[in-house]
Amino acid sequence: MTAATGLPLASAAAMAAALLLYGGVSVPAPPSLRWGEAAIGLLILLSIGWRRPLMVATGHALRDSGDAAWMPVAVAALGWLLWVPLLRGASLGWEAADILRDVVPLFYLFLPVLLVPALRRAGAWAVRLLAGGLALAGLLLALRWWKQADWGFGAVGTRAMADGGSYLLNAPSVLFAAVALPALALSLAAAGGSFRRWIPALACAAGGALCLGALAGAVHRTALGLAALSLAMVALWWVRRRPWLAVPLLLAAGFVVLPAGDALVGAWQQVAEKTRLTGANTRWEEAAAVIDHAVSSPWALLFGDGWGARIANPAVGGWRVSYTHTLVSYSLLKTGLLGMLALAAYLCALVRPWRRLLAEDPPLAMAVVPPLLMALCLHTSFKYLDTGVILSLMLLASELRKGLSEP
């Protein structure tokens, strides 16, 4: 190992350690800065260094964007979304704590701008460490939720179990683990060879089942549907490449369905009942409130109210809060139409790398889709650390072409 690869590998290990700490002691949206969050922040800083954030914040990173076509778009978008809403929020007199609560998630969402250059030279090990860190973080969060639920596995499908005050299952890493761990189990099984491969394959399958069971127990309906669809597509892809896998897959399905058939039917009925009772969880009313506020002023429409802005949100009983439940309404409120254009440019620039990953490594490409769809379209998890790490993993894997199909 040379110094050129040793430092990026250490950076990847630091990021993986931050993810393990996140899954073990932190929460998706911490109410305050505690020792766990401070340690996670320090590990992230060790991973990305201090020069890259400074170059990005000042715009100097545009001069050295490398070969990645998405990088200059991302750097320019981050520059706009950092400074314009920041100055707008400061001019309107929003509280510093509220501004900070918006700026930190912005850096999480744009984490690939900072993390990918730091890890690129680590090669395939960077992908392995990020994917492993994310999967283990998701599994740890799911286990912590099961502990809160008193390990009530028998309650799945019989009653809706509480999310808990920390909303551990909202973390994108849980949904990533629910897909990635079974997908990795399939990859290990498809590789064949010695019996030693089947032991980690069974362990990965069990970990994925724990994550899926937690999502079913708390009736996370959209997450469950996306996970099931992704896993079905991964299974079909593997069966097409290895037709003999159809037999163990059918046996595994029978092993799950026969003893847990009532729980599966009950979980489906709970999903249908929750949909009937809650619908879209007042997302439309929330969006209407944001639009009404935005069109009240040309400044608010073009530039938003800046970081730190609050709104009387009908989704939480009309309380004035600094968040909304979707990235679209959140960005319109805080950054206006111009900020939404910058954000859209960034996200559109990431589509091509994902398509390249889909062609090279469909299991990993399908594993990142459910958590990213939830975060970017349907949920507040766009503000969480693991969303940025999943984006970074996707981009690194698309460049290195190494992932779940080659364990």
Residue 294, domain member (yes or no): no
Token pair of 271 as six digits: 């999903």
Nearest to residue 266, comparing CAs of 370, 161, 177?
161
Report the percentage of the chain scoring pLDDT > 90: 59
For 74-93, letters b (16+ CB in 10 Å) and e give bbbbbbbbbebbbebbeeee
Written as six digits, the tokens of 367 are 């594993």
**Six-digit token string for 389:** 């790490």
392 neighbors 130 (Cβ within 8 angstroms): yes
Reported as a single tens digit per residue, the pLDDT across 90-132 is: 999 999 999 999 999 999 999 999 999 999 888 889 999 999 9
Please state, as a whole number, how many other Cβ atoms lie within 10 Å of the Cβ of residue 204: 24
Structural Rg of the chain based on CA atoms: 21
| 304 phi-psi bin (left φ>0, alpha ψ -120 to 50, beta other) | left
In a domain, 149, yes or no: yes
| Phi, psi for 311 (deg, rounded to 5) | -145, 150
pLDDT tens column, 360-378: 999 999 999 999 999 999 8
Residue 194 sits at φ, ψ, to 5 deg, of -70, 165
Amino acid at 32: S
What gap in Å lies between CA 13 and CA 43, rounded to an integer?
9
Q: List pLDDT tens digits, range 295-308.
A: 999 999 999 999 99
Q: Within a domain: residue 304?
A: no
Is 187 inside any structural domain? Answer: yes
Q: What is the DSSP letter of 377?
A: I
User: Taking the model in full, what pTM does it have?
Assistant: 0.92
Give CA–CA dist 103/383, Å, rounded: 10
Flag whether 237 is in a domain: yes
Cα separation of 233 and 199, whole Å?
Answer: 24
User: Cα separations (Å) of 339 from 2, 331, 343?
Assistant: 42, 7, 6
- Number of domains within the chain: 1
Q: Which domain holds residue 181?
A: 9-265+341-400
DSSP state for residue 376 in the 8-state scheme: I
Reduced to 3 states (helix: H, G, I; strand: E, B; else coil), residue 350 is: coil
Q: Residue 280: is its pLDDT beyond 60?
A: no
pLDDT digits (tens, 9 = 90+) for 168-184: 999 999 999 999 999 99
Considering the domain boundaries, does residue 394 fall inside one? yes
Kindly state whether residue 86 falls inside one of the protein's structural domains: yes
Q: State both tokens at 96.
A: 């510093």
In a domain, 159, yes or no: yes
The token pair that represents 153 in the structure block? 């596995």
pLDDT of residue 84: 96
